[in-house]
Structure 1
Amino acid sequence: MGDHQITTDDAWVPDACTLPTAERPLRLAEFDQFFADSVRAVDRPSAQHLRLRLAGTAQVEQMARDLTARESSCCTFFTFQLSRPEPGALALDVRVPAAHVDVLDGVADRAASATGTR
Structure 2
Amino acid sequence: MDNTWVPESCTLPTAEQPLRTAEFDQLFTNHLRHATRPDAHTLELTLTPESHATTADLIARESECCSFFTFTLTEATILRITVPPTHTVVLDALASRLPR
TM class by shorter chain equals: over 0.9
Summarize the alignment of residues 7-86 of structure 1 with structure 2, pairs less than 5 Å apart. Answer: 8-57=1-50, 60-84=51-75
**TM-score normalised to structure 1 length:** 0.81
Which structure has the larger Rg? 1
Distance in 2, matches of 1:24 and 1:43, equals: 25
Distance in 2, matches of 1:20 and 1:81, equals: 24
- RMSD over aligned CA atoms reads 0.9
How far did residue 11 of structure 1 move?
A: 1.2
Q: Give per-residue Cα distances to partners, 1:81-112, cap 9 Å, x unaligned.
A: 0014xxxx42100000000000000111112x
Q: Give per-residue Cα distances to partners, 1:40-79, cap 9 Å, x unaligned.
A: 111000100000110122xx00000000000000000000
Q: Hey, which bits of structure 1, 4+ residues long, moved more than 4 A? A: none
- Identify the residue that residue 80 of structure 2 maps to in structure 1: 93
**TM-score normalised to structure 2 length:** 0.95
Q: Which amino acid aligns with 2:10?
A: C
Q: Percent identity?
A: 50
For residue 99 of structure 1, give the secondary structure of its aligned residue in structure 2.
Answer: helix
User: Unaligned 5+ residue runs, structure 1?
Assistant: 1-7
User: Unaligned 5+ residue runs, structure 2?
Assistant: none
